[in-house]
């Protein structure tokens, strides 16, 4: 029969070198093992619907939707990472040092890519609202594809460089068996915080504040145009309304994104060991990962084309010949 000390260890057979488990109430333990896999499965499923919708239907191959496609890809990859969080919550990593480092690198890359894509979305809406006459010239599918590829490449390069020492010697910073720890030096940490959080978030906020101001002024101008020339201005007003609706929807996506990631980075910046208990840290971590599940839900509320695409996918009508030409708008 195991002693109390052995029951608290990740590897009971290695008394002198094993890490200790995070002992939690039984209901918290069960909640983690039910909630996290459920969120993971839901995240992958919903984002796959977005990926299939935008990839399959040609009418949805727009520059803005290509950015949503990139975001959905990164969010869908975030889903499986939630399974690894179960081990991290218990403080018992059973997959070895190499897998620990690989998991952390992939996590960093996906997070950086998501934030970079949010910046591109903000730029896209900024040009669409603030410079609508040149939007179709400045924002083309080819340019968006190049920007998305550069975003992924930069994220891979940056995070591989930041975690270079950990990749060269996995497990060099662990103090006991079952621990998953990576360490970034002070200068690299500052660079990571600025490039992956402070800089992008500042750009997003500044651009969307500008979009909001211009959108309000355009809304007033449209109302006066409709009052003066109700027939002549109907086409241009409809186009402007469409752009502002897209800006509003993507604005909701960005606000939800910031609300989910800011607590996580604030905890990282202020020092979780001194100001927050383990439950608070776990909560902001859950919120951080849960954001990947929320974006498709927002699309379902605001985008009729996404609701229509889901119906066609679920009923398997996308398997019919010529379904990619379906009118989705």
As a whole number, the mean pLDDT across the chain is 80
Share of the chain above pLDDT 90, in %: 18
Measured between alpha carbons, how far is 170 from 98 in angstroms, rounded to an integer? 5
Q: What is the Rg, in whole angstroms, of the alpha carbon atoms belonging to the chain? A: 23
The total domain count for the chain is 1
Measured between alpha carbons, how far is 251 from 64 in angstroms, rounded to an integer? 13
Measured between alpha carbons, how far is 126 from 120 in angstroms, rounded to an integer? 10
Does 275 have pLDDT greater than 60?
no
Does 32 have pLDDT greater than 70?
yes
In this prediction the pTM is 0.83
Measured between alpha carbons, how far is 62 from 305 in angstroms, rounded to an integer? 13
Q: DSSP string covering 200-219, please?
A: HHHHHHHHHHHHHHHHHHHH
Q: What mean pLDDT comes out for the span 171-176? A: 79
Element (H, E) at 86: helix 63-90
DSSP structure class, residue 78: H
- As a residue count, the chain comes to 329
Q: Which residue has the higher pLDDT, 67 or 280?
A: 67
298 CB contacts (<8 Å, ≥6 apart)? Answer: 249, 252, 253, 256
113 CB contacts (<8 Å, ≥6 apart)? Answer: 70, 74, 151, 152, 155
The pLDDT value given to residue 178 = 78
Q: What are the helix (H) ranges across 131-197?
A: 135-138, 141-162, 164-168, 186-193
Q: What is the per-residue pLDDT across 59-117, written as a single tens digit (0 to 9) for each?
A: 999 999 999 999 999 999 988 888 787 777 767 788 888 888 888 889 889 989 998 99
Q: What is the per-residue pLDDT across 284-300, written as a single tens digit (0 to 9) for each?
A: 777 888 888 888 888 87
Measured between alpha carbons, how far is 4 from 50 in angstroms, rounded to an integer? 49
Does 18 have pLDDT greater than 70?
yes
DSSP structure class, residue 179: -
Count the Cβ atoms, other than its own, within 10 Å of residue 50: 25
The pLDDT value given to residue 70 = 93
Does 155 have pLDDT greater than 90?
yes
Measured between alpha carbons, how far is 63 from 42 in angstroms, rounded to an integer? 26
Q: End-to-end CA distance of the chain, in Å?
A: 66
Range of the domain at 275: 4-325
Q: Binning pLDDT at 50, 70 and 90, where does residue 55 land? A: very high
Does 13 have pLDDT greater than 50?
yes
Domain containing 83 — which CATH number?
A: 1.20.1070.10
The pLDDT value given to residue 152 = 95
Q: What mean pLDDT comes out for the span 23-40? A: 73
Measured between alpha carbons, how far is 68 from 65 in angstroms, rounded to an integer? 5
> Distance of CA 274 to CAs 21, 22, 85, 185, 263, Å?
20, 18, 22, 20, 15
Q: What is the per-residue pLDDT across 207-246, written as a single tens digit (0 to 9) for each?
A: 888 887 887 776 666 666 555 555 554 545 555 555 666 6
């Amino acid at each position: 029969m195991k002693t109390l000390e052995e029951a608290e260890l990740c590897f009971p057979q290695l008394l002198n070198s094993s890490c200790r488990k995070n002992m939690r109430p039984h209901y918290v333990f069960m909640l983690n093992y039910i909630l996290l896999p459920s969120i993971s499965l839901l995240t992958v499923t919903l984002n796959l619907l977005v990926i299939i919708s935008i990839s399959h239907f040609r009418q949805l191959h727009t520059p803005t939707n290509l950015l949503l496609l990139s975001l959905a890809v990164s969010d869908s990859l975030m889903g499986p990472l939630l399974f690894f969080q179960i081990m991290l919550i218990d403080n018992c990593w059973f997959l070895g040092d190499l897998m620990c480092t690989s998991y952390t690198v992939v996590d960093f890359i996906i997070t950086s890519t998501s934030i970079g894509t949010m910046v591109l979305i903000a730029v896209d809406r900024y040009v669409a609202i603030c410079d609508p006459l040149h939007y179709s010239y400045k924002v083309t599918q080819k340019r968006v594809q190049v920007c998305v590829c550069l975003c992924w490449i930069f994220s891979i390069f940056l995070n591989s460089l930041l975690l270079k020492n950990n990749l060269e010697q996995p497990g060099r910073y662990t103090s006991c068996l079952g621990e998953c720890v990576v360490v970034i030096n002070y200068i690299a940490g500052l660079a990571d915080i600025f490039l992956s959080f402070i800089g992008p978030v500042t750009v997003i906020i500044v651009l969307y504040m500008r979009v909001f101001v211009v959108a309000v002024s355009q809304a007033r101008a449209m109302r006066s145009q409709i009052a003066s020339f109700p027939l002549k201005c109907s086409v241009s007003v409809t186009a402007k309304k469409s752009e502002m609706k897209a800006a509003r929807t993507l604005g909701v996506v960005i606000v939800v994104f910031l609300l989910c990631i800011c607590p996580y980075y604030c905890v990282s910046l202020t020092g979780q060991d001194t100001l927050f208990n383990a439950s608070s840290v776990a909560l902001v971590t859950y919120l951080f990962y849960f954001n990947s599940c929320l974006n498709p839900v927002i699309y379902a509320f605001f985008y009729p084309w996404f609701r229509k695409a889901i119906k066609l996918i679920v009923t398997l009508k996308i398997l019919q010949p010529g379904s990619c030409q379906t009118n989705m708008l």
